[in-house]
Structure 1
Amino acid sequence: MENHQKEKLFNKGFISITLINFVVYLVYYLLMVIIAVIAQDNLHATLGQAGLASGIYIIGTLLARLFMGKTLELIGRKKVLRYGSLFYLVTTIAYLFIPNMGVMYLVRLLNGFGYGTVSTATNAIVTAYIPKSRHGEGINYYGLSTSLAAAIGPFVGLVLLDKTDFKFIIFFSIVLILLTTIACLIFPVKDIEITKEHRALLSSWKLDSFIEKKVLFISSIGFLMGVSYSSVLSFLASYAEELNLTVYRSFFFVVYALIITFTRPLTGRIFDSYGENAVMYPSYIFLTAGLVVLSFSTTGWVFLLSGALIGLGYGTFMSNGQAVCLKTSDSHRIGISLSTYFIGLDLGLGIGPYLLGELRNFLSFQEVYLVAAVLPVLCIVLYGLFYQKSLNYFKVNEVK
């Protein structure tokens, strides 16, 4: 206990990279929640096309994570962070020049690649500043930057959508990314040293150089959770309009943020003290409950209650899934492990809007949210049956 207290978590490096990560994710979520509306209103896209405009961004992110997980350690985390932030800035500026849906898809794809590069770098860099005995707590505090961005970003995006226009929102985003880029150029990144053997493996085109097999299972669970939560990110604004609850749609994410802020430190300590199962199972249950409540919302307070439950569900899972990756990975493969995890999560967020948008042609919004609520239930079953078996499998093979 004494050693735990002596290891300082809130050091300068931890705080700095957490703030950088917050702004990177803030702009991502800010644009994600409005882009479908902009595509429909400004470019006359169908709901399915608008969903694809949201989702194709995540495909770009996925490609970045796939290649940057290994590149982080090969060319250094510092270079990936700095060049990635510059690319993120340039592709954000490109939103000012979108005449049709074809260009929209291209800009979204490239901007997603920029975001994926920077966020993959920050997710790996922060691990160097977290004491090993406080992985769960540290990742949960760091994850608070992501979860708060997931709440504040949509809130800011929807408020700006109501009060301003698309160009103003883009200029606002450019300023935020410019400040982040300057911070990335200044921040003193710790590159890790790798052995010749590890460098040879990372330089190859073997599957192991792109994917960490140890975290494939939790990454698959992340995919299902991402598909489920994408229903909220992509269609909440349209759903609130249908319910005549537009005044509450921005506050939905405020409630989400407040719940995460108050519960995140506690879930991190529970993870470190009692293990991942103590936080994972409740996260699946809360997300299911939140989506069911959302599907039956008719009044403002029920609508906001669903935001609290979804925050306890998806918000808790997102950072603790990351902590699971740290717990099971070797130090020289942390970058690849985290990129593998976020590939699953991002793929779910990317495919989800299109799949659920197409379902909307046959189902009501209420029914779409009920379909999304089934996925965390499936996660409970899969996690209960296979999580421990997957850990045991790799332990046995390591011994051999």
Structure 2
Amino acid sequence: MPTPQNDARTADRAAAQTTGPTAKPANTRVLTAAFIVLIAVTTLNGLYQRGLDSGIPLYYTSIGDSATVGGTLVAIFTIASMIMRLVGGRITDTTDHIHALLAGMGMLLVGAVLPAIWPNFAVVVVSRIIQGCGFAFASNVISVLVMDTAPKKKLGQRISYKGIGTSLAMMFGAAIATWLLATCSYRVFYAAYALMALAGLVLVLLISCTKEIETARRQDAQLRAAAPRRKVGWRETLASYKLPQAVPYTVIQLLRRLPKGACLSFMLVYAKHNGFGTGALFFIVAGLATLICRIVFAGAFNHVNRWVLLPMMLIDVLGFGLLAIWPNWGVLVFAAICYGCSIGVMSPALKTLTSQSVGKAHWGVANGELQFMGDIGRALGAFLGGVCIDMTSQSHIPLIICLFAVVASVLTAIVLAVGGRGAH
């Protein structure tokens, strides 16, 4: 019985035979006009997600509602996003990427326009589902489209540079949302994010006719046409998600997000508890460190070794361990740098290793599974971190994050030693 992996390899070979000279990318440069636009769309997508996730709870708290209301709306977005990461991965692999990306950006637009017109709670709940689906779908398609248009030998570099957009969103997403709510009405707040989604949609339309994108779309169409034709039922659809080569990397993605989920959820609480002000400096420094790593080390990701993941996990142990021992501003900044460097290296490394471990025909599913496992890890880190803090003290937050990083590092070493070889 043919497996999805065998089908992908057959399709790749058949496409190479049928496409002839067009099998090579139209442009072998890393930084092209279309790719720079995709970075811009990634930035808009990230600002949309981070801004709404931070701004909506802030608004409902400011009008006297409980924190549970804002938290529930964030949870609704997250659950919708997690489901769409898996469903959208399969759709991405079987449809035109530009059409899929336009659909994702369209969902983001609708998800912001509805509450801008009718900002009542029921509409906001529905819009959060649409926003979560749109964000997950669009971000997955962008990742696949970036890989699809990359010169083969510079895949890792493209993935790393694409993360610049995510770093910028990390640095400015919450700040923009806070400013909008302080200066505008709730309807205008949503209208601003609708304009972001509209700008992203227009940018996608502008690059859809470029030679680089047209070449990639033609190759993908030939790849799908060359794939073995047979009836696709629910069994075959489920079988397409079976990617054993990618399992070690999806497990490591879950593990690395455990300490990061606790950090994202509770570092602001720790900063306030210790008198460090709002703690926003931590994430600004972390975002800057992430950005620098993605730019400086981008070329190294073209030939990344899977064992680089372990020291990048251990760097979190160092940063948060020192903060637990010496809680002061200087060490807080150092921990933020460690945290940012860990993200800046591990995120593109994992995406590159995962994409290299599976056939091109399964990039959408593999990327969706990677992000899905990351969402689970972040949620577990936030939940378990909260339990540990309630059992101890807010002053122990860095120690708890450090211990999560220790456990994640040990398990990562085991996964790399036992399962890493089978991933290639």
Q: What TM-score range do you get, normalising by the shorter chain?
A: 0.7 to 0.9
1:218 matched to 2:249? The reply is yes
Residue correspondence of structure 1 range 285-364 to structure 2 within 5 A: 285-293=314-322, 298-357=327-386, 359-364=388-393
Q: Find 2:286's aligned residue among 233, 256, 264.
A: 256
Displacement of 1:372 in angstroms is 3.0
Counterparts of 1:1-400 in structure 2, within 5 Å, are: 7-42=28-63, 44-46=65-67, 50-96=70-116, 97=118, 99-100=120-121, 106-158=126-178, 160=180, 167-188=187-208, 189=213, 190-191=216-217, 192=220, 193-195=223-225, 197=227, 200=230, 204-205=234-235, 206-246=237-277, 249-273=279-303, 275-278=305-308, 280-293=309-322, 298-357=327-386, 359-393=388-422
Q: Following TM superposition, by how much is the alpha carbon of 1:362 offset from its aligned partner in structure 2, in angstroms?
A: 3.7
Change (3 A) 1:165 1:375: farther
Structure 2 counterpart of 1:82, which letter?
L
CA distance in 2, matches of 1:110, 1:266: 36
What secondary structure sits across from 1:194 in the alignment?
helix
Contact 1:55–1:349 (CA under 8 A) maintained in structure 2: no
Q: Deviation per CA, 1:309-353, whole angstroms, max 9, x where unpaired?
A: 210112321221111112212111111111111111123334544
Q: Is the 8 A contact 1:11 1:129 kept in 2?
A: no
Query: 1:3 matched to which residue of 2?
Result: none
In the alignment, the residues of structure 1 paired with residue 304 and residue 241 of structure 2 have an alpha-carbon distance, to the nearest angstrom, of 31
Percent of aligned pairs sharing the same letter: 18
- CA apart distance, 1:231: 2.8
Q: 1:306 to 1:108 in 2, by over 3 A?
A: farther
Q: 2:92, 2:347 → 1: CA distance?
A: 22
Q: C-alpha displacement at 1:141, in angstroms? A: 1.2
CA distance in 2, matches of 1:94, 1:238: 33
Q: Shift of the alpha carbon at 1:251? A: 3.0
Aligned length in residues? 386
SS at match of 2:297: helix
C-alpha distance in 2 between matches for 1:342 and 1:329: 16
1:83 positional shift: 1.3
- Paired amino acid for 2:240: S
Change (3 A) 1:288 1:121: same
Q: How far does residue 41 in structure 1 lie from its aligned partner after superposition?
A: 3.9
Aligned residues of 1:39 and 1:53 also touching (Cα < 8 A) = no
Q: CA deviation at 1:169?
A: 3.8
Q: Distance in 1 between matches of 2:382 and 2:80?
A: 15
Counterpart-to-counterpart distance in 1, 2:91 and 2:62: 39
Please state how far the C-alpha of 1:60 moved relative to its aligned partner: 1.2
Structure 1 position 82, deviation (Å)? 0.7
Q: Give the superposition deviation at 1:200.
A: 4.5
Please tell me whether the aligned partners of residues 108 and 131 of structure 2 are also in contact (alpha carbons under 8 angstroms).
yes
Q: Give the Å deviation of 1:391.
A: 4.2
Q: Residues 208 and 295 (structure 1 numbering): CA distance in 2 closer, same or farther, change over 3 Å?
A: farther
Which residue identity is paired with 1:377?
V
Q: Which has the larger radius of gyration?
A: 2
Q: Secondary structure at the match of 1:44?
A: coil
Task: Structure 2: give runs of 5+ residues left out of the alignment.
Answer: 1-26
**Take 1:53 and 1:358, find their aligned partners in 2: how far apart are those partners?**
21
| TM-score (normalised: structure 2) | 0.79
Cα distance in 2 for residues equivalent to 1:362 and 1:104 = 35
Q: Report how far residue 382 of structure 1 moved.
A: 2.2
Give structure 1 stretches of 5+ with no counterpart. Answer: 1-5, 396-400
Deviation at 1:26, TM superposition (A): 2.0
- The residue identity in structure 2 corresponding to 1:68 is G
CA distance in structure 1 between the aligned counterparts of 2:342 and 2:137, rounded to whole angstroms = 26
> Measured at CA, do residues 78 and 8 of structure 1 come closer, stay the same or move farther in structure 2, by a change above 3 Å?
same
Work out whether residues 270 and 397 of structure 2, in 8 Å CA contact, stay in contact via their aligned partners in 1: no
Across the aligned residues of Structure 1 and Structure 2, the Cα RMSD in angstroms comes to 3.1
